[in-house]
Chain A
């Protein structure tokens, strides 16, 4: 942007107002005038076209009997056969239910927690302490679930797991955090929140840094305490950021954390832990039933899309900007 002459921008702006009078032709003139900016945009558009829009035609195999030799386009149409088969399966509704339960639990616990942490850190005045805490809480985000899965097994195992040793030394019964259906989801949600809360607090921290300090100064002069400042200044100022993040999270509510669950689940907890993504992996890739897997994936995307639209609508009704 620094390369663009300010005067040139002003000229372009003037031309834009003029062009509204002379119709479509002048729109091309504007594009031509700002062609370098549009050129810079082109790779991003090509990227999205190639990797996000073009592959969409592959989703059609959900409505086809996919034949490898004939390819996606040449495979015969099968209508809603795969969907009908899926909807008749108890397993399908089970994985949908698990996905929603795990995802909403993560949202309920995992969404406000980083916000609270960011608010607390925002109140810390000792820079060294603040930075140390930030570094420590960001760290788990950079460890893969494969490593963390092994660590979790060692910490939560029934034999010699540190947590169960502690429980037993206090006279309690060992708990099957990873093996008992009752505790498995709880373990998943808590470990996911623990891993990501630090990282997720970054955006809130950035939003908090943008709050005008003069507002706090004015509130201090007016005699407001810290809670009042948080309630009357901080939260209202970052309300839009919170709303947008919430919409984005709702838009991906059907993503319940494939990597984590894939590493930690086992046949003994399938009934509470098997989510759409792990099921798609098993029947799609491991069993090679690609059309069926695509049907589940498409169904999942549809729900995500509907949730995104609803969340955005609600946000706009509440007076916020929304994502579109």
Chain B
């Protein structure tokens, strides 16, 4: 009996300890296993025979942000195998979902650095990684990175350097091109015999004409956490707000946009739309997919958002509900003085950097260069010739079945590695040849790009990075209450101004004023 108890106790104890210790252990084995399913380490084995034994492939881990439009990475991905072969590396790719930079932050906080990382910037995290020496300046490798160097010069991205050092490739989407416009149900306006709105007055009348008890005139969506809500900024631009980021007072000092007279005028206009139930009252509660669903289902006649590669997707969406539906778009409506604007010059993007974990930073930098290069982009957009596509003169035939095996998105769209890290289709002028409505997609960019609104200051200051989310939350809350009438416009703006300044705004303004004065001198 005594032996039985001893035996049982020992077995139970060993089992429990094993469980506990396995939970505590460094998860190298699991990590490798996961990576194998995410990317593929087998590809190297397939191709490794071609490499000389003297030059062992460099093991490179790449952690990046994905994109909703991309398909997941497939096991035994032949594109990654091709990259391995061309660069003599053994690539492991980890992709976090779009907008989930917190997963990258958590990995870094635990000391789990990849060789190369792509994440949103500027941000508190990236500033911290730079300060602590986690990210390596790439200046000494830049001569070996021709596309990197060329992009910096051609796109005037020198402002992204920190004290003259480039801590990664700064991918700022939409610097010179925009695809943001006001979209609407063309078929509805045609039926009503209304011309596409040109001015804010026309816009109001068009909203009024399409709205009824089941349909709002206009819908939009909430901002990303920590960002300032700007979907209605085209109204303020129409009333004469001259810059996208800040305004100037009579003494040439930088002030927040809500202290410019155009904000009050725009807010009065928006209040009128709200009071007449022309604006979707849930706009601050819904995300972009929900907004699109509302538009598809005919719950709103107008919306705003990106076009270009989305033209066919949005039009197909509305036509699923109503086959006779037509997607149309207009330039931002003009204000009383004929002013108009829509897209704001971006100050944020995605930084692709090499970390101190890279044993061979040169190789890691070359990997970034490959992603940027025409060779790399062709591989990630089209695939391997003969396997994923064939060429007949200038015409490309996409082999969808083979492309699907390697995670390419349907209908000629790119591999998961080409989304949301160093390029987006609009920045690369990439549209599959088979894309329906190609001409309209291209036209939407030409039209939208005419309505860029400049920024007063080119880059975000350290204070904006640190305190931005706090003051933006205040702005968003007041914005909603000003639109929906919970606050009197004059009193509300004064209150917003006081609170915004008190909770970090003054600090931000001091820094931005200094940057503005420096940029003028």
B-chain residues with CB within 8 Å of residue A47 when the two chains form the complex: 20
A5 and B214 CA atoms in complex are apart in Å by 76
Q: Mark B482-513, 1 if CB is under 8 A from A, else 0.
A: 00001000000000000100110000000000
Q: A42: shortest Cβ distance to chain B, in Å?
A: 7
Q: Is the CB of A179 within 8 A of B282?
A: yes
Q: Is the CB of B125 within 8 A of A46?
A: no
Q: Is the CB of A289 within 8 A of B124?
A: yes
Q: A100: shortest Cβ distance to chain B, in Å?
A: 20
Asked if B192 CB lies within 8 Å of chain A CBs, one says no
Q: B173: shortest Cβ distance to chain A, in Å?
A: 20
User: Most chain-B CB neighbours within 10 Å: which of A67, A267, A268?
Assistant: A267
Q: Is the CB of B285 within 8 A of A68?
A: no
B-chain residues with CB within 8 Å of residue A236 when the two chains form the complex: none
Interface residue from B105, B123, B282 paired with A158 (Cβ < 8 Å): B282
A69's nearest neighbour on chain B, judged by CB, is B132
Q: Is the CB of A268 within 8 A of B477?
A: yes
Given contacts A43-B20, A159-B282, contact A268 B124 (CB under 8 A): no
Which of A109-117, A280-288, A307-315 contacts its partner? A280-288
B465's nearest neighbour on chain A, judged by CB, is A287
SS of B interface (majority): helix
A46 and B476 CA atoms in complex are apart in Å by 48
Q: Mark B280-314, 1 if CB is under 8 A from A, else 0.
A: 11101110000000100001000000000000000
A268's nearest neighbour on chain B, judged by CB, is B284
A318 and B76 CA atoms in complex are apart in Å by 67
A-chain residues with CB within 8 Å of residue B324 when the two chains form the complex: none
Q: Is the CB of B132 within 8 A of A67?
A: yes
Asked if A201 CB lies within 8 Å of chain B CBs, one says no
Asked if B106 CB lies within 8 Å of chain A CBs, one says yes
A66 and B134 CA atoms in complex are apart in Å by 14
A44's nearest neighbour on chain B, judged by CB, is B16
B-chain residues with CB within 8 Å of residue A157 when the two chains form the complex: 282
A71 and B16 CA atoms in complex are apart in Å by 30
Asked if A197 CB lies within 8 Å of chain B CBs, one says no
A-chain residues with CB within 8 Å of residue B214 when the two chains form the complex: 159
B-chain residues with CB within 8 Å of residue A289 when the two chains form the complex: 124
User: Most chain-A CB neighbours within 10 Å: which of B216, B285, B286?
Assistant: B285
Q: B219: shortest Cβ distance to chain A, in Å?
A: 10
Q: B292: shortest Cβ distance to chain A, in Å?
A: 15
A91 and B67 CA atoms in complex are apart in Å by 32
Asked if A80 CB lies within 8 Å of chain B CBs, one says no
Q: Mark A173-204, 1 if CB is under 8 A from B, else 0.
A: 00010110100000000000000000000000
Q: Mark A28-58, 1 if CB is under 8 A from B, else 0.
A: 0000000010011011001100100000000
A-chain residues with CB within 8 Å of residue B124 when the two chains form the complex: 287-289
Asked if A84 CB lies within 8 Å of chain B CBs, one says no
Asked if A16 CB lies within 8 Å of chain B CBs, one says no
Q: Is the CB of B5 within 8 A of A36?
A: yes
Q: Mark A85-115, 1 if CB is under 8 A from B, else 0.
A: 0000111000000000000000000000000
Q: Is the CB of B476 within 8 A of A267?
A: yes
Q: Is the CB of B299 within 8 A of A267?
A: no
A-chain residues with CB within 8 Å of residue B294 when the two chains form the complex: 159
> How many residues from B make CB contacts under 8 Å with A?
53
B-chain residues with CB within 8 Å of residue A68 when the two chains form the complex: 108-109, 111, 128-129, 132, 134
Interface footprint category on A: 35 or more
Asked if B1 CB lies within 8 Å of chain A CBs, one says yes
A176 and B225 CA atoms in complex are apart in Å by 21
Asked if B159 CB lies within 8 Å of chain A CBs, one says no
Q: Is the CB of A267 within 8 A of B109?
A: no
Q: B23: shortest Cβ distance to chain A, in Å?
A: 8
Given contacts A3-B4, A268-B480, contact A69 B225 (CB under 8 A): no
Q: Is the CB of A288 within 8 A of B503?
A: no
Interface residues of B in 171-218 (CB under 8 A from A): 214, 216
B-chain residues with CB within 8 Å of residue A36 when the two chains form the complex: 5-6, 9
Interface residue from A90, A287, A288 paired with B499 (Cβ < 8 Å): A90
Interface residues of A in 265-293 (CB under 8 A from B): 266-271, 274, 281-283, 285-290
Q: B118: shortest Cβ distance to chain A, in Å?
A: 16
Interface residue from B1, B4, B470, B480 paired with A91 (Cβ < 8 Å): B470
A-chain residues with CB within 8 Å of residue B317 when the two chains form the complex: none
Q: B157: shortest Cβ distance to chain A, in Å?
A: 23
Q: Is the CB of B13 within 8 A of A290?
A: no
Q: B101: shortest Cβ distance to chain A, in Å?
A: 7
A-chain residues with CB within 8 Å of residue B125 when the two chains form the complex: 287-288
Interface residue from B8, B17, B229, B282 paired with A3 (Cβ < 8 Å): B8
Q: Is the CB of B102 within 8 A of A46?
A: no
Asked if B226 CB lies within 8 Å of chain A CBs, one says yes
Given contacts A3-B5, A40-B9, A69-B132, contact A285 B105 (CB under 8 A): yes
A288 and B109 CA atoms in complex are apart in Å by 8
Asked if B347 CB lies within 8 Å of chain A CBs, one says no
A46 and B229 CA atoms in complex are apart in Å by 49
Q: Is the CB of A178 within 8 A of B285?
A: yes
B-chain residues with CB within 8 Å of residue A270 when the two chains form the complex: 473, 476-477
Q: A195: shortest Cβ distance to chain B, in Å?
A: 20
Asked if B133 CB lies within 8 Å of chain A CBs, one says yes
Q: Is the CB of A266 within 8 A of B101?
A: no
B125's nearest neighbour on chain A, judged by CB, is A288
A-chain residues with CB within 8 Å of residue B129 when the two chains form the complex: 68
Q: Is the CB of A46 within 8 A of B17?
A: yes
A269 and B134 CA atoms in complex are apart in Å by 37
Q: Is the CB of B134 within 8 A of A40?
A: no
Q: A86: shortest Cβ distance to chain B, in Å?
A: 11
Interface residue from A66, A69, A159 paired with B299 (Cβ < 8 Å): A159
B-chain residues with CB within 8 Å of residue A181 when the two chains form the complex: 486
B-chain residues with CB within 8 Å of residue A269 when the two chains form the complex: 285
* B contact set with A: CB distance below 8 Å: 1, 4-6, 8-9, 12-13, 16-17, 20, 24, 101-102, 105-106, 108-109, 111, 123-125, 128-129, 132-134, 214, 216, 222-223, 225-226, 229, 280-282, 284-286, 294, 299, 356, 469-470, 473, 476-477, 480, 486, 499, 502-503
Q: Can you give 11 A-B contacts (C-beta < 8 A)? A: A36-B6, A43-B16, A50-B24, A68-B109, A71-B111, A89-B470, A267-B222, A268-B284, A268-B285, A270-B473, A271-B477
Identify 11 new A-B residue pairs, CB closer than 8 A, beyond the known A270-B477, A288-B123.
A40-B12, A40-B13, A67-B132, A68-B109, A69-B134, A90-B503, A179-B281, A266-B222, A267-B480, A268-B222, A287-B469
* A contact set with B: CB distance below 8 Å: 3-5, 36, 39-40, 42-43, 46-47, 50, 66-69, 71, 89-91, 157-160, 176, 178-179, 181, 266-271, 274, 281-283, 285-290
The 7 closest A-B pairs by CB, nearest first: A288-B125, A268-B284, A43-B16, A285-B102, A267-B476, A288-B105, A266-B285
